Homo-oligomer: A and B are copies of this chain.
């Protein structure tokens, strides 16, 4: 039950809910109760309940809980590092770009990127 949902189409609420369930299972697998985890994470037990129930939380809270559960390293690989992909960047000028550029010459207000992972 509760198989891996499709993150690309799931709503933010659904994703938060999924993450919450995983965190709860993670906690239970270590046989820790919410009170202990809360103390270790530096948040209130009430907040732990909210996290596991998929209610809205801050990134700060997520980080604290993940660290308390010993799974903080997952965040290190959360995002792909663009620097490991020099080819793409170089196409748009040689040096480190600090700002985007979308020339509004005429009426070209329609832009699309989305590429990459889409297909």
CB within 8 Å of B: which residues of A?
4, 7-8, 12-13, 15-16, 19, 22-23, 25-34, 36, 56-64, 66-67, 70-83, 85, 88-89, 92, 97-102, 111, 113-114, 116-118
Q: A36-B102, A57-B58 are in contact. List 17 more A-B contacts (CB 8 A).
A: A7-B76, A16-B59, A19-B59, A19-B75, A23-B79, A27-B100, A28-B97, A31-B92, A31-B113, A32-B100, A33-B101, A36-B100, A70-B114, A70-B117, A73-B117, A74-B77, A78-B78
Number of copies of this kind of chain in the complex: 2
CA distance A41 to B27 in the complex (A): 31
A28/B63 in contact, CB under 8 A = no
When C-beta atoms are compared, the residue in chain B nearest to A30 turns out to be: B113
A25/B83 in contact, CB under 8 A = yes
A33/B98 in contact, CB under 8 A = no
